[in-house]
Structure 1
Amino acid sequence: MRDYWDAFIMLFIVLDSVGNIPIFYTLTSNMGEEERKKVFAKSVLVASLLLLFFTLFGYSFFAYYNVTFTDFKIAGGILLLLLALEGLIGKVEAETLRNEDVAVVPMATPLLAGPGSIYVVMYLHEVYGLLPTLVSIALNTLIAYAILSGSDVIVSKVGKNTVIVLARIFSLLLAVLAVSMIRSGFEEALRVVLGRG
């Protein structure tokens, strides 16, 4: 049971469903409650499939395509930064981002199934085995859906105008997160280059 508990806690921390509430709500602010829940469900499902894929085939995939976590950080950071900039100038609307696009990118990846969570499930598989890792993914994604589906109740209490202000603030925070991911990726890439030199 200790293996199952440790695997669950590690992925729960990295997945950070609670921390994603304001960002996810901002990205779906133009949708109704039912539509938002469908998008949340799709994003959690896609994230689950991605985590399952990397649990089972992660090391083989990375080796075959010569992909590194550094590549994931840089690419994911750029995607988040572009979306954050659109949010800051008020261009994240239904006309520019279809719901299915938002559900997959950036909600499913890189916000939920990002470089950190992908690395964790691969690590859990190696350390604790397949079953504890699969249980951890299942429990954490179910919890993520429950938390995100209930986020509208929390956010609705603060009022529409406050949500608009918060949307800009969270877009700024998303931009900061994106820059942090890009910086971290380039720093890791630079260390690799200097190490080889």
Structure 2
Amino acid sequence: MALDFKEIFTAVMILFAVIDIIGNIPIIIDLRAKVGHIHSERASIVAGLIMIAFLFLGKSILNLIGIDVNSFAVAGSFILFFLALEMILGISLYKEEQITPKTISVFPIAFPLIAGPGSLTTILSLRAEYATINIVIAIVINMIFMYLVLRTSNKIEKLLGENGINILRKVFGVILLAIAVKLFASNIQGLFKM
């Protein structure tokens, strides 16, 4: 349960790639154009609380339905794999329902954009390998990043441009792909030991 800066850094990078903070900038800008204002603080805090709650309660929920963390981590590695393919190839394998909310904070920014299926699966997958305290710190760091991106999304888009955002997405996609392979390899053995 000790603090491990390498674990924190890796978990931050994994969550950063899965949440796709940079890749979500165009979506955030589009939502801001439709509704006018985004409650950055509320969205970041609620998303962080959802992820931390899932970190602590997710395993109990899995035990309740008879699934072990190794199985969930292997399933999570497949989701990360396909998310990475989406980022690298610029394709969309998973279509979300189009929503036009009246106010933007909790829905759809906090959930499902930030704390969506990908990030929640990743959190439980990380729990199979990393200390809980390191994951909590990684979640908090990512929520600070998310808050800053929500507050400055227009400036970031102008600074990076469309090509810059696409390049960053592809770089994080490759990192995510490597992480998915590592997660699969380290947890698949646990399934056969049982």
Output aligned runs, 1:1-197, within 5 Å.
14-15=11-12, 23-32=20-29, 35=32, 37-38=38-39, 41-42=42-43, 45-55=46-56, 57-64=57-64, 65-68=66-69, 70-71=73-74, 73-81=76-84, 83-84=86-87, 88=90, 98=99, 104-105=111-112, 107-109=114-116, 110-111=118-119, 114-115=122-123, 119=127, 123-124=132-133, 143-152=144-153, 154-158=155-159, 162-193=160-191, 195=193
The answer on whether the counterparts of 1:71 and 1:185 sit within 8 Å (CA) in structure 2 is yes
TM-score (norm 1): 0.56
| Per-residue Cα deviation, 1:56-115 (whole angstroms, up to 9, x for no partner) | x344234333132523531430452354256x25x69x9986575675456324348833
SS of equivalent to 2:21 = helix
TM-score (norm 2): 0.57
Q: Using a 3 Å threshold, how does the CA distance of structure 1 residues 192 and 105 change in structure 2: closer, same or farther?
A: same
Match of 2:104 in 1: none
Pair member with larger Rg = 1
Distance in structure 2 (CA, Å) of the matches to 1:171 and 1:137: 20
Q: Using a 3 Å threshold, how does the CA distance of structure 1 residues 61 and 118 change in structure 2: closer, same or farther?
A: farther
SS of equivalent to 1:63 = helix
Structure 2 unaligned regions, length at least 5 = 101-106
| Per-residue Cα deviation, 1:104-153 (whole angstroms, up to 9, x for no partner) | 4563243488337962997339xxxxxxx7xx699657634432323426
Structure whose residues are more often helix by fraction: 1
Distance in structure 1 (CA, Å) of the matches to 2:150 and 2:126: 23
SS of equivalent to 2:115 = helix
SS of equivalent to 1:25 = coil
Distance in structure 1 (CA, Å) of the matches to 2:148 and 2:13: 10
Q: Using a 3 Å threshold, how does the CA distance of structure 1 residues 17 and 62 change in structure 2: closer, same or farther?
A: closer
The root-mean-square deviation of aligned C-alpha atoms, in Å, is 4.8
Distance in structure 2 (CA, Å) of the matches to 1:142 and 1:168: 22
Distance in structure 2 (CA, Å) of the matches to 1:83 and 1:147: 25
Q: Offset at 1:44? A: 5.1
Percent identical: 10
SS of equivalent to 1:84 = helix
Distance in structure 1 (CA, Å) of the matches to 2:120 and 2:63: 23
Distance in structure 2 (CA, Å) of the matches to 1:83 and 1:43: 24
